[in-house]
Structure 1
Amino acid sequence: MRQTSRSRTGFTLVELLVVIAIIGVLVGLLLPAVQAAREAARRMSCSNNFKQIGLAIHNYHAAYDQLPEQGTGTASNTGGHHTNPRASGGGNSFNRLSFLVGITPFIEQQALWEQISNPYVTTTGVYQAMGPLPSCSVANMQANPYIPWMTNIAAYRCPSDPGQGLPSLGRSNYAACMGDATHSCSRENDAYEDANGNSNSTRASYSNAAARGAFVYRKSLKFRDILDGLANTMMCGEIISDLGDNDKRSHIWTRGGRTAAQWNTGGVLRCRGAIDAARPNFWNPAATGVGNLFASSEEVRGNKWMCGIVLYTGFHSILAPNSELCIHGNQHEEAVVSTSSRHQGGTHVLMGDGAVKFITDSIDAGNSNSAQVTVHNYLPAGSKSPFGLWGELGTRAAKEVLSGDF
């Protein structure tokens, strides 16, 4: 008897399921590695952007014998000099432009600089160079656009930060180091004048004592002013831009009022009770007894690269990287704002010598609830930073010997 054999023409269902399972396991194993490799590439690109900014700062100093100013532009005595300027969101005073504006010619943005530094014609008229510009609110920019302030510059963006579009204007992920104290850091220095053009030496003394970083608001510095050494002093730090998700690192929690020595009970940590226990990187909008979530969608971190106030393009070396933002009532002066990033475990900082370092969230930040160094009933001027190694890196001339590795 002849036996017939039947050839197989395909996989059985069980075999197919086994193959699919194996493929799924391999994808599950490989995907994190691919994502990690992509993030490593983005992190390297972010570091390279910072190196370019550092090189631009050095080239600026070589060209003009000073550092680019944080808080510069066209001046006006109309209105208090600590109010919002037209170059950053309302008010009648100027001198609010960030150091990022000044270095645009040194990062291959000469064409953009030409628009900024020359009269600019909009749909409603001609605005003088560097100001007076229209109020830099989103609504005003949509009605009467000033293109330079709405431009996103690739060199000022970290590839790991996904923020795009309104309500932000031109975003930035890099900010100036304003030191280890907040009192008057975004207000007056020894060149301060009030609305009537009169000098205010009292407020100037506050700022001179408190402004201990590589950048001082509305004051030009030189490398020779960084007495602690360029390699030991932070010039800039990384920040995230706001995504509208109540992230504690990019959205403001405000707690009004402050005592003579510290801000309310709890000092600089007084907003910490508003952090969502279930999501520790975010605010709890329903939190009570510790102030309020600042409602403005425009007054958030990293959303106006042209504006020199600390919220938008500055940071303090007080709380460790990726800590919460806390402000006493407005964004102009008493603001605790640190560095932040979308990278895992820390942030990049740019040292004065041009080196880019990655600072971990666990860096020694000393006594985070300490009073700050000012002459306004806080720690005496010239005191050693109370904020550990992080504070020491943020001061330019406190005669500190670094207390650890970073």
Structure 2
Amino acid sequence: MKVFWTIDQRTSRRVGRLRQAGFTLVELLVVIAIIGILVGLLLPAVQAAREAARRMSCSNNFKQIGLGLQNYHINYKQLPVHGVGPTNENMNSTTAAILNDGTGFTRLELSYLVGLLPFIEQQALWETISNPLVETDGDRWPAFGPRPTVGSYPPWAADIPTYRCPSDPGFGLPGLGRTNYACCTGDAFYDAEEGATIFVSGRWRYETDSRQMERVRGGMRGAYVPRKSMKFRDFLDGLSNTIMAGEIISSLGDRDKRSVSFTNAKGGFQQVADNPKRCEELGYIDPQRPRFWTDAANVTFGQRGHRWADFHTLQSQMNTILPPNAEVCLVGSSDTYGYAPPSSQHSGGVHVLMSDGAIKFITDSIEAGNSHAPTIYFRALTSEYISATPVGSMSPYGLWGALGTRASSEVIDEEF
């Protein structure tokens, strides 16, 4: 009996020690709660780290574009033209330009990003574009293709990784090949729709129409003048003080004021050109969601950044009139000119590419002068339309506007 009692006693102690080694229900709940709190604290940090990585990748893509532009200039003594391509010299028909029987033409609407392709390791795509293309379904395309609005021409629908910012979630139709990097046309917008080369009296005139060249000299003050070859020698303000290109978001199909422009009730050209805040003051920005237009706004015309090969304002241009991430406000439909500030999905600002190749992050709060000052224009539409801001003036849009001009003699003595 004594032996058995001793064994039972030892067994009881062993069981007791085993029971003491486990967790009680309360202890388990406390541990789970602590893990939940740690996960809640860590997730924002992980998301921030991911965005920081995407932002760095976005900057690196822009850097590659900047290096490509520098190399292009070294090789050709000029920048790639924005608004270029073989065309029918005696025709300006948009209908004829999109034909798939081999007679279509570019209508001088190709962006600077097309000519840049061989300098960003896209030689194969460049070879496809620069040669005639016959497809198995019978479509025939000339060298450099039709208008960049034609989605059935394969190169225009290509997504090029270097032309995309990883922070931008946009993809697929109705976009063709999207882009997030737009060239800078300065602190004015007239006449960015036509540029230096215009179709007049039944033929294209290459920098030979006197009225159009007056318009260009008066209002096209940026690194890029559409349909004109630009050289670094033109940048009298200095390459490090002149923005070459800026970041833009591609439209997600929502009513984001940075990616679509409403067109109803804005009045004529002069009302918009004389007041950069015209679209905002009409009351169509949602007070509950100030980054979006209201349902009453007509935003059916155009989506920003949907066609990398298209030179028009909404697709691959930006200007330094309104500050970064402000609203897009065009005079007319998607192919017209207007206010097109840079924009991004990063917090607080946008990347810009300076003409010397440097990448800068510009905050939304950059000093931008008087956003109600008339933009500069000369002989707009008719000879009667001349801006209240004289041609040749320093930019009325502060440091931001000054960074957009190439030869306006503004003194830049601030950090940006």
Shorter-chain TM-score above 0.5: yes
Q: Which residue of 1 aligns with 2:382?
A: none
Q: Which residue of 2 aligns with 1:215?
A: 224
Structure 1 counterpart of 2:182, one-letter code:
A
| 1:61-76 aligned within 5 A | 61-76=73-88
- Assess if the C-alpha contact under 8 Å between 2:218 and 2:392 holds in 1: yes
The correspondence for 2:374, drawn from 357, 371, 390, is 371
| 1:1-400 aligned within 5 A | 4-5=12-13, 6=16, 7-8=18-19, 10-80=22-92, 86=98, 94-122=107-135, 123-131=137-145, 133=146, 136-137=149-150, 141=151, 145-189=152-196, 191-194=197-200, 196-197=202-203, 200-255=209-264, 258=267, 261-263=270-272, 267-272=275-280, 273-286=283-296, 292-296=297-301, 299-376=302-379, 377-378=386-387, 379-400=389-410
- Assess if the C-alpha contact under 8 Å between 2:369 and 2:398 holds in 1: yes
CA 1:29 to 1:125, structure 2 compared with 1: closer, same or farther past 3 Å?
closer
CA 1:12 to 1:257, structure 2 compared with 1: closer, same or farther past 3 Å?
closer
Bigger Cα Rg: 2
Structure 2 counterpart of 1:42, one-letter code:
R
Distance 2:144 2:391 in 1: 35
CA 1:76 to 1:230, structure 2 compared with 1: closer, same or farther past 3 Å?
same
CA 1:312 to 1:84, structure 2 compared with 1: closer, same or farther past 3 Å?
farther
State the Cα distance separating 1:293 from its structure 2 match: 2.2
Distance 2:73 2:33 in 1: 60
* Corresponding residue SS for 1:263: helix
1:237-287 CA-to-partner distances (Å, cap 9, x unmatched) read: 0011111121111122224555675428x822121121111111111122x
CA 1:269 to 1:81, structure 2 compared with 1: closer, same or farther past 3 Å?
farther
State the Cα distance separating 1:399 from its structure 2 match: 1.0
State the Cα distance separating 1:328 from its structure 2 match: 1.8
1:328-368 CA-to-partner distances (Å, cap 9, x unmatched) read: 22233331111011111000000000000000000011111
State the Cα distance separating 1:305 from its structure 2 match: 0.3
**Structure 1: gaps (5+ residues):** 287-291
Structure 2 counterpart of 1:263, one-letter code:
V
CA 1:188 to 1:155, structure 2 compared with 1: closer, same or farther past 3 Å?
closer
Distance 1:405 1:213 in 2: 20
* Corresponding residue SS for 1:193: strand
State the Cα distance separating 1:21 from its structure 2 match: 0.7
* Corresponding residue SS for 2:276: helix
Distance 1:52 1:81 in 2: 36
- Assess if the C-alpha contact under 8 Å between 2:97 and 2:106 holds in 1: yes
Structure 1 counterpart of 2:29, one-letter code:
L
- Assess if the C-alpha contact under 8 Å between 2:92 and 2:107 holds in 1: no
CA 1:124 to 1:195, structure 2 compared with 1: closer, same or farther past 3 Å?
farther
**Structure 2: gaps (5+ residues):** 380-385
Distance 1:331 1:10 in 2: 69
CA 1:198 to 1:186, structure 2 compared with 1: closer, same or farther past 3 Å?
closer
Distance 2:367 2:147 in 1: 43
CA 1:230 to 1:83, structure 2 compared with 1: closer, same or farther past 3 Å?
farther
Structure 1 length-normalised TM: 0.89
Distance 2:88 2:362 in 1: 39
CA 1:82 to 1:271, structure 2 compared with 1: closer, same or farther past 3 Å?
farther
Distance 2:181 2:407 in 1: 23
CA 1:276 to 1:84, structure 2 compared with 1: closer, same or farther past 3 Å?
farther
Structure 1 counterpart of 2:256, one-letter code:
D
State the Cα distance separating 1:34 from its structure 2 match: 1.3
CA 1:134 to 1:197, structure 2 compared with 1: closer, same or farther past 3 Å?
closer
Distance 1:335 1:359 in 2: 21
1:105-153 CA-to-partner distances (Å, cap 9, x unmatched) read: 000000000000000113233221113x26725xxx3xxx221111111
State the Cα distance separating 1:179 from its structure 2 match: 0.7
Distance 1:125 1:35 in 2: 46
State the Cα distance separating 1:395 from its structure 2 match: 0.4
Structure 2 length-normalised TM: 0.87
* Corresponding residue SS for 2:48: helix
State the Cα distance separating 1:322 from its structure 2 match: 0.5
CA 1:81 to 1:230, structure 2 compared with 1: closer, same or farther past 3 Å?
farther
